Amino acid sequence: MNDSTPRGNALPQSPLTALHLLVWTALMAALIGAGAYLIMPIGPVPVSMQPFFIFLAGYLLGPRHAVLAMGLYLLAGIIGLPVFAGGKSGLGYLLGPTGGYLIGFLGTAFLCGLARTREGGLPWLRGTLAGLAAVGVAYLTGAVWLKFVLSLTWTKAVALGVLPFIPWDMLKVVVALACARHMVRLRLTPGRR
């Protein structure tokens, strides 16, 4: 049996599938970085588009490559590329008040990636539940980190780091899922033809 022969429910793979998936992984890492610069100044706390691209990476790439895309983004920031919010970089930024969200986004990407079916589909209910769980992971790690780094009470950490973002992140989950489903329907997704 050669590498292009289907096994179980897996779809046949072309010789360029692995390369195609790596290119998509790098592209999504770049879009996650660009999302940190796309800020909507709504209210006292600015809302970035970064979570949208993290959700989209998960929905399009699956869990393993979505985590790789997020990890590549974090690595780029740690080594000094100005990819974090506000053009910041370095390990110090990652250890700052928003570092918990950035680390939590690894779990976010993974959970959104679990929404893909083995056949490459992306059902609405499964995608929505994965997106809600993914947002919960980011909020949990972010609020815990924020509480300890800034010595806040739990109430203050949740009030500053979670509540203002809930409506926007729910909207981003729905839009990212709709975009990913459309791309799946058009067969524009990586690794699955």
**Residue spans per domain, the chain:** 50-185
Check the CA dihedral 176-134-138-79 and report its sign: negative
Where residue 81 falls (left for φ over 0; alpha for ψ -120 to 50; beta otherwise) is beta
Q: Of 8, 44, 10, 4, which is closest to residue 192 (Cα–Cα)?
A: 10
At 87, which amino acid appears? G
Rounded Cα gap, residues 30 and 73, in angstroms: 7
Cα–Cα separations (whole angstroms), residue 172 to 2, 124, 131? 41, 14, 9
Q: Which CATH number fits domain 50-185: 3.20.20.70, 3.90.1150.10, 1.10.1760.20, 3.40.50.450?
A: 1.10.1760.20
The pLDDT tens digits along the chain (193 residues) read: 444 444 444 445 677 888 889 999 999 999 999 999 999 877 656 789 999 999 999 999 999 999 999 999 999 999 999 999 889 999 999 999 999 999 999 999 999 999 998 888 899 999 999 999 999 999 999 999 999 999 999 999 999 999 999 999 999 999 999 999 999 999 888 754 3
pTM of the model: 0.89
Three-state SS string across 10-76, please? CCCCCCCHHHHHHHHHHHHHHHHHHHHHCEECCCCCCEECHHHHHHHHHHHHHHHHHHHHHHHHHHH
